[in-house]
Structure 1
Amino acid sequence: MKYSDAKEEFIRTWGALGTSWGINKTVAQIFALLMISPHELSVEEIMQELQISRGNVSMNLRILIDWGLVYKTTRKGQRKEYFYCERDIWSISRKVAEVRKNREIVPVAKVLDSVSQIDGEETAEVKEFIRVMNELNDVVRTTDQALSHFINSDRGWVSRTVIEYLKKKKS
């Protein structure tokens, strides 16, 4: 496969993967392009590469900057801004996990805590509701703890933990 075909396929696939994770396709595609670029890219270069409008690029770069995944810089003597992302894939993964945890897991945990506090009659419906909420809360709390370990870990810890888990599964 030629580099240009591989690059196009990677960006297209990353965009599709992003949508399955609930991320805007263009956000994912811009991020994919920045991940594989050996240097910072201008808005114009991103527009040309992905065949999208300036407004689309600017809006989606803002999302990536807000997530802490993309940074902007300037070059001496130029007014143009350039954009780049973290180069360490493990750091990127931990940052994405942290953003998703804060946006998804933490709010759900708060809601589950709140709706589990039911006053009044202990009917069969109330007991079942509380049982289900407690089980969901256990899953959410376990996920939260696992993500916290991952976010605060280094690459070696993650690899060792996964390998140990897989070894235990085999025996």
Structure 2
Amino acid sequence: MEFREAKNKFVQTWGALGSQWGINKTMAQIHALLMVSNDAISMEDIMEELQISRGNASMNLRALMDWGIVYKEYKAGERREFFTAEKNLDELAVKIARERSKREIRPALKVLKEVSSIETNNSDEANHFIDQTTKLYDFVLKADNMLEKATEFKDNWLGKLVLKIMK
């Protein structure tokens, strides 16, 4: 397989997986393209490479920057903006985990807390509902706390030491 074919296959596959991860295909393709590029890429080059419109490229680049996994770069003498992706995979995983928690897990926790604290008429059905939603809230909260601890782990000196020893 030639380089160009391999790169295209990676970008297309990453894009297809993106929709399973909760982001749109184009956003994932742009991220993949930037992640495997050794230099920052202009929006025009992204548009050409992926055959997408300026609006689509602009909207998805903004979303990736909001996630904190794509950065804008300026080059001396250039009027165009260039973009690059987070290359450190540990840092990338932490940023994605934090963003997904903020966008998905915390809103779910809010709803679970609300629905599990309803007034009950002491019917078996209502009591079962409250019991199950309370258990689900507790489980999701523990999972979110574990995710938070895991993302904080690498930021403290002990976590860095453990990671260094494991390598």
> What is the TM-score with the length of structure 2 in the denominator?
0.89
- Name 1:140's counterpart in structure 2: 140
**1:16-165 alignment to 2 at 5 Å?**
16-154=16-154
> Within 1, Cα distance between the matches of 2:60 and 2:120?
48
- Name 2:14's counterpart in structure 1: 14
Which residue type is aligned with residue 136 of structure 2?
A: L
> Within 2, Cα distance between the matches of 1:120 and 1:141?
23
> Within 1, Cα distance between the matches of 2:12 and 2:98?
25
- Aligned-residue Cα RMSD (Å) equals 1.9
> Within 1, Cα distance between the matches of 2:80 and 2:19?
30
- Is the 8 Å Cα contact of residues 73 and 83 (structure 2) preserved in structure 1? yes
Task: For residue 153 of structure 1, report the CA deviation from its aligned partner.
Answer: 2.4
Per-residue Cα deviation, 1:81-108 (whole angstroms, up to 9, x for no partner): 1001111011001100000001111111
Q: Secondary structure at the match of 2:77?
A: coil
Task: For residue 55 of structure 1, report the CA deviation from its aligned partner.
Answer: 1.6
Task: For residue 9 of structure 1, report the CA deviation from its aligned partner.
Answer: 0.8
Structure 2 segments unaligned to the other structure (5+ residues): none
Task: For residue 110 of structure 1, report the CA deviation from its aligned partner.
Answer: 1.2
Task: For residue 138 of structure 1, report the CA deviation from its aligned partner.
Answer: 2.1
% identical aligned pairs:
46
> Within 2, Cα distance between the matches of 1:48 and 1:118?
54
Task: For residue 70 of structure 1, report the CA deviation from its aligned partner.
Answer: 0.8
Structure 1 segments unaligned to the other structure (5+ residues): 162-171
- Is the 8 Å Cα contact of residues 120 and 126 (structure 2) preserved in structure 1? no
